[in-house]
Amino acid sequence: MGTDRDIIRGWLEANLKAKGRGARRELADFLGLRSQAISRMISTRPGAETREISAAELLRMAEFFGVPPPRQLGDQIGGFAEEAAAYVAGPGHLVTIMGYVGAGAEVLPEFKQVPPDGLDQVELPFASPQDVIGLQVRGDAMLPRYDDGTVIIVYREQHRSTASLIGEEAAVRTHDGRRHLKRITPGPRAHTYNLESANARTIVGARIVWASEIVLIVPASRVRSRGAGRAPRRTAKSRKTG
């Protein structure tokens, strides 16, 4: 039996082949990566550059293909297999929406206005990693991937360094307390980052105090209200920002 890496690589390659022509580029677009990154993930050529697949990426690949990750993963990748196995560990799971994230609309740092039990919930058709929350998108600056009202599932605590997220779409909190959904790129000075949108101006030289990769994207239609007649409290202004 191969290693976990071999199992995942074979699973990915088989699903790309089954999906047909153009699947590699479509998957890269879905993950917010370049198609070369997918090629490196499945490469087995001696001396060729390879790339590891994170647990969050594996979960999103499963979402893209519509099939669960490999069930035979072992425990060789330091929490990777446990986290991925959670995807198929149960029939469903509720994730609490703990606030908003700006994608064009300005989300003010009014965290105390969010009830302790959150705004609403989203139901996933599978169990999720324990340390995740939902953030609801406000604005249209990241269309067409993220509609206003979409919920992104992210880690409550930062799992990866901000520098390792460069080039990826991520949820971030800047030093002024505002949350954004942006693509992270290098900033003009040390320890600063530019935050790029698909349809709005770039925020230049931001200082990031928290960042998380996007584990899953959940349509607004999957939001489960906690009570009839109760509307989530909005902290987002309608005016455009970066």
Q: Verify that 114 and 227 share a domain, yes or no.
A: yes
CATH number at residue 212: 2.10.109.10
The residue from 72, 88, 104 where one domain ends is 88
Q: Verify that 82 and 108 share a domain, yes or no.
A: no
Q: Verify that 159 and 121 share a domain, yes or no.
A: yes
Q: Verify that 58 and 101 share a domain, yes or no.
A: no
If one counts the domains in the chain, the total is 2
The residue from 33, 63, 88 where one domain ends is 88
* Domain limits for position 12: 4-88
Of residues 78 and 137, which shows the higher confidence score? 137
Q: Verify that 172 and 83 share a domain, yes or no.
A: no
DSSP for residue 229 = T
Cβ-count burial 190-228 (b if 16+ within 10 Å, e if not) = eeebbbbbbebeebeebebeebbbbbbbbeeeebeeeee
Q: How confident is the model at residue 226 (pLDDT cuts 50, 70, 90)?
A: low
Give yes or no for residue 224 having a pLDDT over 60.
yes
Q: Verify that 63 and 25 share a domain, yes or no.
A: yes
Average pLDDT over residues 219-226: 74
Give yes or no for residue 78 having a pLDDT over 90.
no
CA 123/CA 225 separation, integer angstroms? 11
The residue from 88, 107, 123 where one domain ends is 88
Q: Verify that 57 and 128 share a domain, yes or no.
A: no
The tens digit of pLDDT for each residue in 134-164 reads 999 999 888 888 889 999 999 999 999 999 9
Average pLDDT over residues 183-202: 95
Q: Range with the lowest mean pLDDT among 45-54, 92-101, 223-232?
A: 223-232
